[in-house]
Homo-oligomer: A and B are copies of this chain.
Amino acid sequence: MATIYEVSELAGVSLATVSRVVNGTAKVRQSTKDKVEAAMRELGYRPNTIAQSLASNRSNSVGILVPELIGPFYGALLSRIESLFRAAGKHVIIAAGHSDAELERDSIEFLQSRHCDALILHVESVSDDYLVALAESECQFALINRRVAAISERCITLDNRLGGFLASEHLLALGHRNIGYISGPMWKQDAKERYAGHQQALMDFGVKENQHAFFEGDFQETSGVAGLQYFIEQRIPISALVCANDEMAAGALTAAHDLGISVPEQLSIVGFDNTNFSHYTFPKLTTIDYPIAEIGAMAARWVLAHVYQKPGEPLVSSFQPKLVQRHSTFAARRESA
């Protein structure tokens, strides 16, 4: 591979000049520029990104840390982020944190050791303090799906509370009064907020929450089946069920089939996230749309604007979820029936 040195020689100009035409960092006379470009073409020159990074102290790479690479959720995020950065000539380095504090810290260090210009973090286990400290070091990063007050200008989130509210409001409006709730792990911020939204909706409709109609799951399918089984065994009377994500909703749906409970006639179910499989279920899942790809895109724009000085459309830091009504929810039977 040709180096900048060979190009400068062939074009009969200095190293510095070649660098200028490559980067467009300063004015160069058109005729010189032409010579240089001809030389570059002739040699098939392509700048060595590694050398560029070392000299410029910028790696043109951004690190992305998500909980999992597998599963229906983060793919959409990564996909969007990758294509945006790709178009900007940056590349993404991807790591998985597996919702484990130590692994998350490791991953961040790993990404930093790779000299990423910026990070996009979707972390759940690491403490707020850690993130604040990280922000105080010279590390540039955007935080997804988590709001930390001290660094809120870097946070891009979904209004999870509103999402939880919408899910339950939908059911309440349909006439349901006995609503079960299968939550995510309550140590996770989003799980907590979604649940808070649920409670808010109950309150707004003047419905008293049945403390027993709550089951703490783990966002996995299996806890969806466990949750529904629990409610049935405990004879908790419910005509509707909100699950804090689609996986658990799918699990509950399966359990309902197995228990001979027909959905939505006997039991309405609503999920959360609108993952790609939510319309593969039967009946198709009513759920809350989580615009994860948009959020990823926004994080990418944040980086482009703050780190690469490429301002684009204005940044928005909070997104609104909305209800996607499909076939797993149904009007409650009249009590008089």
Contact = CB atoms under 8 A, between A and B. Distances in A.
A113 B70 contact: no
Interface residues of A, number: 45
Contacts of A254: 279-280, 282, 284
Interface centre among A59, A68, A69, A221 (most CB of B within 10 A): A69
Contacts of A71: 75, 276
- Residues of A contacting B: mostly: mixed
A274 B136 CA distance: 46
Interface string A172-197: 00000000000000000000000000
Nearest to A74: B75
A5 interface: no
A53 interface: yes
Given A69-B75, A94-B92, A115 B50 contact: yes
Given A93-B92, A96-B79, A114 B280 contact: no
B281 A49 contact: no
Contacts of A72: 72, 75, 276-277
A79 B70 contact: yes
A40 to B, nearest CB: 14
Contacts of A86: 95, 110
A8 B162 CA distance: 56
Given A54-B54, A69-B82, A113-B46, A280 B93 contact: no
Given A95-B86, A280-B250, A59 B50 contact: yes
